[in-house]
Amino acid sequence: MGKPRDGLLYVPPGYRPDKPAPFVVLLHGAGQDAHTLMDPMRPLADELGLVLLAPESRQGSWDVRYGGYDVDVEFIDAALAKVFAKVNIDPARIGVAGFSDGASYALSIGLINGDLFSRVAAFSPGFVGRGQYVGKPAIFVSHGTDDQVLPIGRTSRVLVPRLEDAGYKVEYHEFAGRHRVDPELLRRASKWLAATR
């Protein structure tokens, strides 16, 4: 759909067209690509029956970092339309997840599209973009206590209480580690994303 940056769609082997599948949009960090979350998520997708879409940002990071929602939202919308036309997706189990800048973007587009995304998973987010928030998607946040890129004291420990004060249900986990996705918390978040409400 886009060159040179495009994305990946993964449909697990156990997918059945007659059964609506849970679906997660995966958003990479700055300077990364679709493989960042897709590769570690594929075995979990096989286990849980998750359909995965990992679009790539048009620039080095997501458009909100450069001032607003623009080309990346358009690209994601087009990718979603293509997936929805080809794969039987459960509309009640559509989530968005991201790491680092992708986590910030997942929170940002997840909150302004709470009528589409029922769940948002953010691994080491830095901020939440502004916008008109819709609905109340459930939120999962994890962050390393020794994060050297997005220090936890200025990010998740500030963001999570604000989200809770705004009425969002947040499952929050800190882990001993640096700026990365913790494998055990990725598994936990994947099961959470696949679950029914």
In tens, the pLDDT along 170-193 reads 999 999 999 999 999 999 999 999
CATH number, domain at 148? 3.40.50.1820
In a domain, residue 113? The reply is yes
Chain centre distance of CA 54? 9
In a domain, residue 83? The reply is yes
Q: Is 0.85 surpassed by the pTM of this model? A: yes
Tokens matching residue 183:
């494998």
State the DSSP string of 34-100: THHHHHHHHHHHHHHT-EEEEE--SSSS-GGGGTSS-HHHHHHHHHHHHHHHHS-EEEEEEEEEEET
- Tell which residue, 96, 17, 18, 20, has the closest CA to residue 52: 96
Please count the structural domains in the chain: 1
In a domain, residue 40? The reply is yes
In a domain, residue 1? The reply is no
In a domain, residue 100? The reply is yes
Tokens matching residue 165:
């004060």
pLDDT, tens digit, 9 for 90 and up, residues 46-93: 999 999 999 999 888 988 888 888 899 999 999 999 999 999 999 999
Which residues are 89's β-sheet partners?
A: 21
116: containing domain: 7-194
